[in-house]
Every structure is written in structure tokens, then in C-alpha cells.
Structure 1
Amino acid sequence: MDNFDKLKTYLEEKRFLIEKTLEELFPKERSYGERVISASYYSLSAGGKRLRPILCLMGYELGDKKSEEILPFACGIECIHTYSLIHDDLPCMDNDDLRRGKPSCHKAFDEATAILAGDGLQALAYEWFTHPEVVKKINPKVLLKAINYIAKASGLQGMVGGQMADLLSEGKKGNLKLLRWIHEHKTVALIEASLVSGAILAGIPAKTLKILSRFGKKFGLLFQITDDLLDLIGDEKQMGKPAKSDLKKGKLTYPSLFGLEKTKRLAEKTTQEAIDSLAPLGEKGELLEILTHYLLQRIS
């Protein structure tokens, strides 16, 4: 079994645990709130890589901990990610009809329900961050630090701010400084925080947290660069959405600034920078290194 096979087995095992936990924890109440609960679960259960909660579990395991202990916390991160996708797809934002090969939440239900579903998932995330099973295992001060880290990365100073800048830049001539700012906030911040928050929960020393933060930023950037490339060269069935949608909307992307070949070289350079940043971790960084190589393979 080669490294990629080992990684795929690991990712599938963690994905199974996350899917199982999402199903077990999700509210079962129906009655008058049934429609918005159904809409929220429709989007949350639509599949996806579950990359962000898996990164959280990986960060926790770096402290020689059992990742099952923080599954509700990791699933809370997936709630935040899913709420952002629901809102991004809305007609007033990116106006996308498909997400993961299925009708977007506002198409499957309606726009108002989709907004409320996103709102509900954001609140549910914090309910799960403070789930009794997590509170039993994690020191309250440590838990608050991890929650604060996620909140900053997903809010006005992170993902939300990045989405605003992304919308404002549509159809306009951009530059590298603006492009970096958008992606560092809209995409990179939550990816980096997913990994680091897991490590915070495990009580990993501040020096190591800084290493993981540097890696997380490079890894998140690589994710965005490859995502930009896939919009141009990816398979619609695998992506679950129309190809060249960023191009049609006039989105500011790496290929729109640098072209295809230069963007591919940038992806390779960013891969190496991410891997180099893991050097101080030694063998403990091996799985993250393999994951980084695996991410680059998306465009090969």
C-alpha cells in the first residue's frame, strides 16, 4: 500500500466518523420548524470531502489524542462551512443553482428558507463546539481559545470579510494584493483554523501551533489555487457544479491574473513551501505532507 492509499484509507475512516456524528447529533425535532431543519440537513448531508473537520481531527491527533473525543467540535466546523456554502449560492451572491451535484438549498427549497438554514447551521456549530461530550474532555479555558480562533476565522475578519471583497471585485480588474487578501480571508482562514483549533484542543505548545498555522496558511492557499484551476480544467461531474463558472462571473482568480501554466507552477511552488514548513515536526508531519501532495494531484 503506497502513501496515497494509506491517506485515502485514513480520510475515508475519518469521513465515516464525521458523517455518522453529523447524523446522530442533528436535531430531530419537527413540528413547525420542520422545513428549515430539513433544508439545513439537506445541505449538510449533501456529501463533500469533509476536509475542514478532518483537519481538526488531524490537529488533535498531533497531541497523541484520540480524535473521537472531539467529533462534535469537528462537526461544528462543517456546519460553519456548509452555512457559508448555502449563503454563497444565494441569488444575491454567487447565484449558483448546483452544489455537490444537487440543486442548491435555495433551489431545492426557497431563498428565505436557505437564508434561515444557513443561520441555523451557524448557531448549531456553537452548540456542538460546547457539546457536553467535548466539555467533559477539554479544559474550559482551552475550549474557549479554540472556539475564539474559529469565530475569528469565520467572521468579519475572516471568511465573511473575504466573501464581501470577492463580491465587490467581480467583473473588475484586480491585482495580486487584492486576490491574496480575498483568498486568505474567504478560504484560507477557516482551513488554517480547522487544523490549529484541533491542535489547541489537544494542548499542543504555542511553538508547534505557530508551525501548524504557517502550514495551514500555505495548505489553504494551495487548496484555493487548485480550486481556481479546477474551475477551468476540472470535470463537471466530479466537481458537482458547472465548469468555468468563475470565468463567466468575472471572478478574480489566479488563472485570470496569471494564466493556466503559470498558475500550475504556482501550485507546485506552494506545495513545496507547505511541505517545507512541516520540517520541524519530523515524522509527526508525515500525514499532512502526504495530504499536501494529494491536494496537488487534483490538477494533474
Structure 2
Amino acid sequence: MSKRKRPIIEYRHYSLPLNFPIILLSGDRWRISEKKSGRLHFHNCLEIGICHSDGGIMEFEDISLPFQEGDITCVPKHLPHTTYSSPGTASLWTYIFVDPEELFRNMVGSQSNNFDKPMSDIRSYHLIMSREDYPKVYYLASAIAEELKSQKTCYQNSVRGLMLSLYVELLRIHTSENSKNNVEISMNQDVENILVISAALEHIHKNYMEPINIGDLADISHLSVSHFRRIFHEIMGTAPLNYLNSTRIDAACWLLRSTEDSILTVSEKVGFHSISSFDRCFVKLMKTSPNIWRKQAVLSDTNSPKAAILEFTGWV
């Protein structure tokens, strides 16, 4: 029996605004084709989708779920997926990408670091919620999208409040013991399931500033080092160390934009042990030096606050 062909996986990195880490993607551009993609993708933040018309399929590695007009989709970070519409249609969507931990940091205080834990277990997750079954979720998601689109006076404060209400509602739904419509994404005995490295990815994103070795990541994934290295490369298209370094460089870019820390301090804060290795890695990924990148980023932020904030820096 031939081995099932592994889908191509893309990593999409969304560089969210510093002080308001949420973006809206809406309008006629966001129509989903009926053509089934040959690849899945995942991203570094929570994705909330609002389907405005037609229907189709949201596909994960192991399951395919139907959606229709009025549905709200809620896809956690690191979960590979793709969407395509029913034959002869092109469903219209609005997407909200958000980093809840950063968005709520000043609202929930010291609890922000653990605020997303109830929604971090993607083995048991509500991925699609209908307007009829979850009217509150639909109302809040739509209200957030409208506030982000209109940008009326104090809209950021309004969005934070609405998003906190939505997030609490999602937490309640996802942790409810009596939920009837819960979709279970089970990790089967095939260790090559895409979710097997999810815990390692989460560990990297939470602890990139600390020393991390491949043995630790393999242990977290319950794999041998050699097996983990192979599976990680098959899924991500790059080695674990390269992924760790790209995560550190992304964090460095955030610090270069948002602080006046020296280049040396930034390199140490994101986990590099020497300025030379930081410079070398930064230039390799960003195609310029940290100092020049900082000057260009500051100039861009000053001249165009609404400059493009969506980046694709992943692997295929």
C-alpha cells in the first residue's frame, strides 16, 4: 500500500501593529475560489473568519468541514488548513487576525501570559460556528469588523472591549463540558500527523529568548531527536534551528521598531549569545543589517502609519 502523500505546508507570518496587534482583511478581494488548493497553511496568530456568502469546505490535514453563509471560523495559530468554495461559487469573507495575549496585556494584567491556555489545545476545538447556534459569537465578530473598518472615534478602545468579550465567549465555548458540537481533532497513532510538532512550535514561540536545544523540542513532541528532526523538516521545510532563529529575528524586529535598545541589548533579549551571530542571522533573513533595518522601519512608521503590515516570511 502506497504511503499517503503529505500536503505542502506554508507558514504565513503576520506582522501585526505594535500597540494594537489586530488587523482586518475585508472587501471583494477576499473571495475564496472554488479551486481546491494543493497546500495547507498556518500562521502565527489567531484567525477569525466571517463568511458573508455561499459555502464550501474548510480542510485540515485529517478532516474536512463544510461552511456556509453566516458561519464564523476560529482557527488557532499553528493549525494547518485551507478553504475552498462550492463549485460555481466564490464565497466572500472578512478575516480578523489578532494576538490576544498582546491585545489584552494591559486589560488582564499578570494573567495575560496564561490567558490563551484554554484555547491552546487544538485537539478539541470549535473551528466553525454557525450564526444560528452561536448568535453572540456572530454579533461580536461582526461588530469588531465594523469598528475596524469604520475607525470612528476611540475605535481601538471599542475593539479591545468587544474582542475581550468575544474571546471570553470563545473560552467558555471551548471549555464547556456539555458542548454538543465540539469538533475533535485527534492525534492518531501516526506520529507524522502535522500536529505532532505543535507543542514544539508553541515552546519556541514562548521561550525563544532562552537556550533551546533540539533534545528539549524532541522530548516535548515525544519523539527521538532524529525522528523529530526529520518530521520537523518535512512539515516546516526548514531545520528546527532555522525556525528558532527566524522567531528570534522576528522578535528582534519588534524591539528595533518599538524600543531604543542598543543592537547588542536587542540581540541578547531575543536569545543570541553573540552580536556577530545575531548580525549574521539578521542579514541572512532580512537582507540588511539591524541598524539599517531600524532606520527604514522608523521612517516607514513615521511617514505611513497604515503601511503594509502583512508579511509572508515562511517556507513551502
Q: Is the structural similarity TM-score above 0.5?
A: no
Which structure: greater strand fraction? 2
> TM-score, normalization: structure 2?
0.31
Which structure: greater helix fraction? 1
> TM-score, normalization: structure 1?
0.32
Higher Cα radius of gyration: 2
